[in-house]
Amino acid sequence: MMNIAVLVSGRGSNLQAIIDNIDNGYLRAKVTVVISDVEDAYALDRAKKHGIEAVYIGHGNFAKKELYEEEIITVLEKHNVDLILLAGYMRIVGYTLLSAYRNRILNIHPSLLPSFPGLHAQEQAFRYGVKVAGCTVHFVDETLDSGPVILQRCVEVREEDTAETLAGRILEQEHMIYPEAVKLVVEDRLRIEGRKVRIIN
């Protein structure tokens, strides 16, 4: 069984989607630890409610990013983690963590990448006036919101939408494609070929 760590900074609704899909049998995996860089992140409470180890590691307590990530790695190793999911984790993953878990870190982003990377992606898309928005699950590499794309889902922008209503419908899709992408990893059905991720049957 694959052991998963989820890295969070906030409310943790994507973490919840992963937990729920493990509980209902869709995903054969285990979340062994949730790590937050924000002490009062609601995601930590969600983890505890499900009996999952919840760990706060404050970036500010370390002199260098390298040391901060080494502490994260210590916790990951203690929990025998095979796969890391970023779920609203608001830091850029550095070389230390990336090189320890190469091609074993996934992220979910609320836009159709490579459009609208960075913060407030849904609002960026809404203001730009796109007719189709969406979300992306991708492997994490050294560039922000880059890395080979695993799954994407479209969300149509409606005339009556606000940035908030659009973000809400994108989030519903996030909660579906993140577990789907994790299932593909768990079942060893992904092959990274350059920028492309091939899904095998």
Which amino acids are annotated catalytic?
109
User: Does 173 contact ligand GRF by CB under 6 A?
Assistant: no
Give the nearer residue to ligand GRF in terms of CB position, either 64 or 94.
Answer: 94
Return contacts of 118-124, CB within 8 angstroms, 24+ apart: 118/144, 118/145, 122/163, 122/166, 122/167, 122/170, 123/163, 123/167
Q: How far apart are CA 144 and CA 33, in angstroms?
A: 24
Q: Which stretch binds ligand GRF (CB under 6 A): 4-12, 62-70, 75-83, 183-191?
A: 4-12
Query: Minimum distance from CB of 12 to ligand GRF (Å)?
Result: 5
Q: Which of 21, 174, 182, 184 binds ligand GRF (CB under 6 A)?
A: 174
Residues 33-62 that bind ligand GRF (CB under 6 A): none
Give the nearer residue to ligand GRF in terms of CB position, either 39 or 188.
Answer: 39
Q: Which of 5, 46, 82, 110 binds ligand GRF (CB under 6 A)?
A: 110
Q: How far apart are CA 10 and CA 90, in angstroms?
A: 9
Q: How far apart are CA 170 and CA 19, in angstroms?
A: 19
Mapped onto helix, strand or coil, the DSSP state of residue 122 is: helix
User: Does 12 contact ligand GRF by CB under 6 A?
Assistant: yes
Query: Which pair of structure tokens corresponds to residue 132?
Result: 């189709």
User: Does 11 contact ligand GRF by CB under 6 A?
Assistant: yes
Task: Give how far Cα 78 sits from Cα of 15, 72, 139, 169, Å.
Answer: 20, 10, 23, 37
Q: What are phi and psi of 28, to 5 degrees?
A: -95, 85
Query: Minimum distance from CB of 192 to ligand GRF (Å)?
Result: 21
User: Does 10 contact ligand GRF by CB under 6 A?
Assistant: yes
List interacting residues with ligand GRF (CB under 6 A): 10-14, 87-88, 108-110, 171, 174
